[in-house]
């Protein structure tokens, strides 16, 4: 199997895993404090990352890689999980998933800035059309009730695009699973004390869905998904493989409707499909 094909396969697996992240986070924050969810998922994944690094006797990253690792850790371990957890206190996971349509554009932009990639003009045309569709959809909603959630989700998408590009750039030299493990290790001295500080005093009111959601985001969203995703971006190209995120809204909407019994209206489905088509067009003109 050639490197490009392997990159697309790894990227697809990563997107499939990430698709359940928002519904799982929504289930977790129903009974847990969003800050606790953010800290707990990072701490659990970090302890597993430490075990992996020790088991495979991985060398420490070079000093020149530490700045990028800190950026990656701050984003994927702290900022994105916290912003999405806070957003899901105001909006449904089905509504938040539509914003994932912005991720390919954000990833591509930072792929150019941080990864040195170059795209054709039509690539940017299709990507921008998809972004406008998402923004237009948000404007048709009841902003008085969800403006906070929408702004938090938009900030999360920008942060996520940067961290995807930064992590993928590091994966070219460090390896995909090593990047996320070292990023988690760097965050552990902060996230573990934070988790213990905001830990619930009463566990009896925490339902099974919240536990399952916390387990999923800790093991799959925070660790396993990134192992596949960073490897895929590094192998197939940040902007090109990043377009696989166009599948994430579809998978996520199905999960939100199936697992959380949330209502997915036709306007949301139409916008999501339109965004998918726009990003598919962008993929066709990626260098």
pLDDT above 90 for 199 = yes
In this structure, of 53-67, 138-152, 181-195, 267-281, the range with the lowest mean pLDDT score is 138-152
Radius of gyration, alpha carbons of the chain:
18
Q: 255 falls in which pLDDT band (50, 70, 90)?
A: confident
What does the alpha-carbon distance between residue 177 and residue 169 come to, in Å, rounded to a whole number?
A: 13
The 10s digit of each residue's pLDDT in 20-44 is 888 899 899 999 999 999 999 999 9
**59 phi, psi to nearest 5 deg:** -75, 155
Q: Is 171 a member of any domain?
A: yes
| Pick from 100, 97, 93, 95: nearest CA to 27 | 93
Where does the pLDDT of residue 139 fall: very low under 50, low under 70, confident under 90, or very high at 90 and above? low
In a domain, 66, yes or no: yes
Banded pLDDT at 145 (limits 50, 70, 90): low
Q: How many domains does the chain have?
A: 1
Average pLDDT, the chain: 87
Q: Residue 260: pLDDT band by 50, 70, 90 thresholds?
A: low
pLDDT at 243: 85
pLDDT-derived band at 155 (thresholds 50, 70, 90) equals very high
What letter would DSSP give residue 261? -
- pLDDT value of residue 197: 95
Which residue range forms the structural domain that includes residue 179? 3-197+209-284
Instruction: Tell me how far CA of residue 29 lies from CA of 24, 37, 66, 92, in angstroms.
Output: 9, 7, 32, 12
Q: What is the pLDDT of residue 141?
A: 63
Is 157 among the domain residues? yes
Count other C-beta atoms under 10 Å from residue 132's C-beta: 12
- Model pLDDT for residues 98-113, shown as the tens digit of each residue: 787 788 888 889 988 8
Per the domain annotation, does 30 fall within a domain? yes
Q: What pLDDT is attached to residue 2?
A: 82
Residue with tokens 């530490």: 66
Q: How confident is the model over 3-16, as pLDDT tens digits?
A: 888 988 999 999 99
CB-count exposure of residue 88 (10 Å: 0-12, 13-18, 19+): buried
Confidence of residue 138 (pLDDT cuts 50, 70, 90): low
Residue 251 falls within a domain, yes or no?
yes
Provide the percentage of residues in the chain whose pLDDT is more than 70.
96
Taking residues 74-101, report their average pLDDT: 83
264 or 176, which is more confident? 176
Report the candidate in 285, 191, 178 with the shortest Cα–Cα distance to residue 223: 178
pLDDT band at 48 (very low <50, low <70, confident <90, very high): very high
CA 39 to chain centre: 16
Cα–Cα nearest to 29, from 92, 98, 99, 86: 86
b vs e for 181-194, b when ≥16 Cβ sit within 10 Å of the residue's Cβ? bbbbbbbbebbbeb
Kindly state whether residue 204 falls inside one of the protein's structural domains: no
Give start and end residues of each alpha helix (H) in the chain.
3-18, 21-29, 34-55, 66-72, 80-87, 93-98, 103-115, 121-139, 143-174, 176-197, 208-216, 225-236, 238-242, 248-259, 266-284
C-alpha 142: how far from chain center: 25
Name which of 120, 144, 140 is nearest 132 in CA terms: 140
Kindly state whether residue 163 falls inside one of the protein's structural domains.
yes
Is a pLDDT exceeding 80 seen at residue 252? no
| Of 282 and 151, the one with more pLDDT | 151
The predicted pLDDT at position 258 comes to 77
pLDDT exceeds cutoff 80 at 236: yes
Residue 34 lies in a domain: yes
- Inform me whether the pLDDT recorded for 140 exceeds 60: yes
Instruction: Report the distance separating Cα 112 and Cα 123, nearest Å.
Output: 12
């Amino acid at each position: 199997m050639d490197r490009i094909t392997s990159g697309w396969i790894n990227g697809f697996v990563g997107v499939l895993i990430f698709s359940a992240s928002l519904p799982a986070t929504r289930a977790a924050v129903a009974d847990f404090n969003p800050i606790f969810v953010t800290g707990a998922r990072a701490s659990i994944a970090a302890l597993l990352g430490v075990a992996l690094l020790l088991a495979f006797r991985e060398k420490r990253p070079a000093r020149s890689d530490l700045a990028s690792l800190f950026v990656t850790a701050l984003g994927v371990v702290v900022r994105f999980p916290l912003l999405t957890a806070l957003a899901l206190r105001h909006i449904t996971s089905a509504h938040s998933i539509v914003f994932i349509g912005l991720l390919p554009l954000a990833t591509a932009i930072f792929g150019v800035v941080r990864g040195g990639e170059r795209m054709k003009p039509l690539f940017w045309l299709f990507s921008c059309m998809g972004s406008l569709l998402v923004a237009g959809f948000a404007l048709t909603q009841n902003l008085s009730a969800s403006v906070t959630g929408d702004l938090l989700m938009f900030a999360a998408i920008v942060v996520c695009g940067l961290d995807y590009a930064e992590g993928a750039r590091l994966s070219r030299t460090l390896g995909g699973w090593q990047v996320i493990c070292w990023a988690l290790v760097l965050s552990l001295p902060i996230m573990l004390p934070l988790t213990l500080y905001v830990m619930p005093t009463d566990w009896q009111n925490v339902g099974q869905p919240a536990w399952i959601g916390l387990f999923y985001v800790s093991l799959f969203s925070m660790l396993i998904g990134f192992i596949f995703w960073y490897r895929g971006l590094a192998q197939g190209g940040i902007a090109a493989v990043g377009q696989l995120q166009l599948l994430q809204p579809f998978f996520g909407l199905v999960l939100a409707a199936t697992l959380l019994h949330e209502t997915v209206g036709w306007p949301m489905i139409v916008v999501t499909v339109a965004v998918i088509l726009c990003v598919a067009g962008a993929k066709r003109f990626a260098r």
